[in-house]
Amino acid sequence: MGDELAEFRDAALRFLEDNALRRVADTQSGWGVGSDAIGLLDSHTDRAEEAAALERSREWRRRVFQHGFGWVGGPLALGGGGRSPQLDEEYRRLEAEFDVPDQQPFATGTHLVAPALMAHGSPELQAKYLPGIFTGELVVCQLLSEPEAGSDLAGLKTKAVRDGDDWIVTGQKVWSSQAHLSQVGQLLVRTDVDVPKHQGITMFVLDMDAPGVTVVPLRQMTGETHFNEVFLDEVRIPDANRVGEPGSGWRAVMATLMSERAAVGSGANNSAVDPVARLIEMARHLDRAHDPIVRQRLAERHTNAELRRFLIGRHEATMLAGKAPGAEGSILKLLFGEQATQCAELAAELLGLSVLADSGEWGTYAWGRWITGAPMMRIAGGTDEIQRNTLAERLLGLPREPS
């Protein structure tokens, strides 16, 4: 792998150098330089701006794919590079050093849904959706949570009934991130009510433009409309869009959930701004960098970021070894929830009133987006309490929670 990796890295860097500019780290640009935007989700408050940004992201993804870096580890027959999936991770790492259009809209498809399709989808289903997921033509959302099924996802009630070659689906999903931008949804439904709840669930790929699908945006306190309610009213889904056997949906989604925890915990969904570097600059600017309490708290944030860096490395190594993602996803998620919250508290304390009223001063009011967004990091991808239950049972071997 050594030579192949070095040769791949050279080729990828040549492509990136020719097509994009290197990112300037916050610490290099300093206080007051460039944009002061800082948030936990790169979504927009303006729909036209959001659509234009998605087009730029898609155009970049297309170019990456055309140059052979979009799906290096994918099967040749589906347009992939037929090489080691490790090279995809290497490309992702290299690309993160460059200032390219936001690639997060595609991450649900490439990192969460594609692995489930590869492992459990029929060859026809893989051929129908996987190429589009990797070229960026298809944005994917996850239609899992329901008004009465979040932590207890297996309690979901959206129902699918077989009708010839189709299934007829009725129910409601909620908190569906980027459903308003998506062409495709990863849908979990109940296909059997007469078996224990985990065994009656089936996964489908849903075309979001199917008749009977209604997407209603939900606005968060950050001002963004990142997620949606999705109503399904007698929606017909071809049986060919079923992922795995009827009743196997729980097993199929588990791998997705563990990867999602690790992805949320890695901070991969978040803006390119390094919050710790930004806080250090802020402390210097406000002449608080010598305050021992501020220094201690900055050191704790730096330590958290470093710990997560090592855990991400461990998670990537597990995935590359072809093993199922383990409990490190839950640890990462807990650590990132803590990081988001503590960075928010420190920013609010350093900035005082200037975070509440927009005085136009660089790097002050902008923190409002981070502060109002931080609570969601303790919920998305499974709440803190659920991560602790997972760790207690799977890692520490404590008795299972009564179900």
Ligand X SMILES: Cc1cc2nc3c(=O)[nH]c(=O)nc-3n(C[C@H](O)[C@H](O)[C@H](O)COP(=O)(O)OP(=O)(O)OC[C@H]3O[C@@H](n4cnc5c(N)ncnc54)[C@H](O)[C@@H]3O)c2cc1C
Q: Answer yes or no: are the C-beta atoms of 328 and 262 closer than 8 Å.
A: yes
User: In the complex, what is the shortest distance from the CB of residue 122 to ligand X, in angstroms, rounded to a whole number?
Assistant: 24
User: In the complex, what is the shortest distance from the CB of residue 97 to ligand X, in angstroms, rounded to a whole number?
Assistant: 27
**105 counts as binding ligand X under rule CB under 6 A:** no
**176 counts as binding ligand X under rule CB under 6 A:** yes
Interface with ligand X (CB under 6 A), residue total 19
The smaller minimum CB distance to ligand X, of residues 176 and 330, is found at: 176
Q: Binders of ligand X among 129-168, rule CB under 6 A?
A: 141-142, 144-145, 150-151
Find the part of the chain contacting ligand X (CB under 6 A) among 110-118, 273-281, 318-326, 385-393. 385-393
Look at strands 227-238 and 213-218 and give their pairing: antiparallel
Q: Answer yes or no: are the C-beta atoms of 333 and 382 closer than 8 Å.
A: yes
The smaller minimum CB distance to ligand X, of residues 243 and 294, is found at: 243
**376 counts as binding ligand X under rule CB under 6 A:** yes
- Out of 389, 391, 392, 393, name the contact with ligand X by CB under 6 A: 389
**175 counts as binding ligand X under rule CB under 6 A:** yes
The smaller minimum CB distance to ligand X, of residues 97 and 148, is found at: 148
**380 counts as binding ligand X under rule CB under 6 A:** yes
The smaller minimum CB distance to ligand X, of residues 64 and 188, is found at: 188
**201 counts as binding ligand X under rule CB under 6 A:** no
Secondary structure (H, E, C), the chain? CHHHHHHHHHHHHHHHHHHCEECCCHHHHCCCCCCCCCCCCCCCCCHHHHHHHHHHHHHHHHHHHHCCCCCCCCCHHHCCCCCCCHHHHHHHHHHCCEECCCCHHHHHHHHHHHHHHHHHCCHHHHHHHHHHHHHCCCCEEEECCECCECCCHHHCCCEEEEECCEEEEEEEEEEEECHHHCCEEEEEEECCCCCCHHHHEEEEEEECCCCCEEEEEECCCCCCCCEEEEEEEEEEEEHHHEECCCCCHHHHHHHHHHHHHHHHHHCCCCCCCCHHHHHHHHHHHCCCCCCHHHHHHHHHHHHHHHHHHHHHHHHHHHHHCCCCCCCHHHHHHHHHHHHHHHHHHHHHHHHHHHHCCCCCCCCCCCHHHHHHHHHHHHCCCCCHHHHHHHHHHHHCCCCCCCC
Cα 305–chain centre separation: 18
The answer to whether residue 146 is catalytic is no
Of 33, 94, 85, 107, nearest in space to 260 by CA: 107
User: In the complex, what is the shortest distance from the CB of residue 302 to ligand X, in angstroms, rounded to a whole number?
Assistant: 25
In the complex, residue closest to ligand X by CB: 150
Find the part of the chain contacting ligand X (CB under 6 A) among 162-170, 198-206, 352-360, 379-387. 379-387
User: In the complex, what is the shortest distance from the CB of residue 387 to ligand X, in angstroms, rounded to a whole number?
Assistant: 9
**x/- map, 225-264, ligand X, by CB under 6 A:** --x-------------------------------------
User: In the complex, what is the shortest distance from the CB of residue 245 to ligand X, in angstroms, rounded to a whole number?
Assistant: 22
User: In the complex, what is the shortest distance from the CB of residue 376 to ligand X, in angstroms, rounded to a whole number?
Assistant: 4
- Out of 277, 327, 379, 391, name the contact with ligand X by CB under 6 A: 379
**345 counts as binding ligand X under rule CB under 6 A:** no
Check 146, 224, 260, 328 and give the catalytic one.
260
User: In the complex, what is the shortest distance from the CB of residue 41 to ligand X, in angstroms, rounded to a whole number?
Assistant: 7
Q: Which residues bind ligand X (CB under 6 A)?
A: 141-142, 144-145, 150-151, 175-177, 227, 376, 379-380, 382-383, 385-386, 389, 401
Give the active site residues: 260
